[in-house]
A and B are shown apart, each in its own frame.
Chain A
Amino acid sequence: MNITQFLTIFISAVFVYNVILSRFLGLCSFIAISKETKPALAMSLAVMFVTTMSSIITWLIYRFLLIPFGLAYLRTISFILVIAAFVQLVEMVIRKVSPPMYRFFGIYLPLITVNCAVLGVAVLNSDMFFINGKVLPGSFIYSTFQGICVGLGYTLAMLLMSGIRERLDLCNVPRALKDFPLAFIIAAIMSMSFMGFNGFRF
């Protein structure tokens, strides 16, 4: 367990293989919610929380339930069920603790369940930090850290994009490109500039 591995995971998840701009996970919510900064930030925090917690829970399930009983092929089903249940739990808690925040999120909270980023990072963890069912050293802490970093990468992309789109609201964009087409083109340029971190090595 060395610091270079952590740095690599961080640079990888946040910049080089940014969950949205490079892996395309969470794209639907990214295009839909990045129009304004406040909702974008709120969504990002919620997503980061869910990715982190579900990284932990799915790791535990994979390690102590699926592999020992030879049920690795049930990975997809069990992961998504865990995630759905967890998001439902989060939804109930928020509803109890802060009704205005619950109303603020609206439909986007349950939509985190189908946010590809969440299931994606869980599947990624089990692919990267296990080999043929054997646990690699430091697997748990790397998986959790990757969950956090994926959330951070999501937040970064959302933050930048919402700032840009708010600014473009005041501009004279060609009609055919307004909103979604332009959002994709901006994402393309951002994605190209993030390529600068390719080949990163400490």
Chain B
Amino acid sequence: MKKLLTEFLRGIIKENPTFVLLLGLCPTLAVSVSVTNGIGMGIAATFVLLGSNIIISLIKNVIPEKIRIPCYIVVIATFVTVAELSMKAYSPALNRALGIYVPLIVVNCIVLGRAEAYAAKNTVVNSFFDGLGMGVGFTLALILISGIREFFGTGKILGYTLIKGFEPASVIGMPSGALLVIGLLLGLFNLLKEGRE
């Protein structure tokens, strides 16, 4: 039980996919304009991650080694299509907001990376918790980045204005701002890491 907890927590801090492993950056930067989008993407990605980790872990002994990557991709793509269609049906606004980045979850390095590095070599239960941890870690990273960007870029969080009369720097909501925020955050985390050593 303790081991499962460790697996889960690993994905959140020690091996956070966004800040430590630097995976899945494309969608992270693109959708993190508002916290709502960040949470939406995080949930979608976690769903896909869980699904694909479980299935791939189940069939890992049956797939021939040479064509394993295409096989993983088929599995992942299936879950992504399910997520995409569900989103189109139940929250079309979110789907419009996330745009092409929903189908792009297929090539999200986190999903494929965990499939190759973990699910293909571990039990179903372990893979489930790994997927959960990574997904939650990813979602938390998204919330942090989009929180910063939404606040400094539009002066609001989740649509609510916090400080009246605050003139937001609109660049933060733009691609350049995303790159800047993540660069500074990475630098900050490096600094904290060094400070701890």
Contact = CB atoms under 8 A, between A and B. Distances in A.
Interface stretch (B8-16, B160-168, B184-192): B184-192
Interface stretch (A38-46, A60-68, A141-149, A174-182): A174-182
Nearest to B185: A181
Interface in A21-61: 21-28, 31
Size class of the A contact interface (CB-based, 8 Å): 35 or more
B184 A21 contact: no
A134 to B, nearest CB: 20
B191 A73 contact: no
A76 B75 CA distance: 12
B87 to A, nearest CB: 12
Contacts of B174: 191, 195
A114 B180 CA distance: 24
Interface of B: 22-27, 29-30, 69-70, 73-74, 77-78, 80-81, 84-85, 100, 103-104, 106-107, 109, 112, 171, 174-180, 182-184, 186-188, 190-191, 194
Nearest to A191: B176
Main secondary structure of the interface of B (DSSP, over half): helix
Nearest to A74: B81
Contact of A119 (B84, B106, B112): B106
B99 to A, nearest CB: 9
Contacts of A26: 26
B186 A181 contact: yes
Nearest 7 CB-CB pairs, A to B? A184-B183, A188-B179, A181-B187, A188-B180, A191-B176, A185-B183, A181-B186
A187 to B, nearest CB: 5
A180 B180 CA distance: 12
Contacts, number: 124
22 contacts: A21-B176, A23-B30, A24-B30, A24-B178, A27-B25, A28-B22, A28-B24, A31-B25, A76-B81, A81-B77, A119-B107, A120-B100, A127-B100, A176-B188, A181-B183, A182-B187, A183-B183, A184-B180, A184-B183, A187-B179, A188-B180, A191-B179
Contact of A188 (B74, B183, B190): B183
Given A176-B190, A184-B180, A76 B84 contact: yes
Contacts of A21: 175-176, 179
A81 B70 contact: yes
A184 B70 contact: no
A99 interface: no
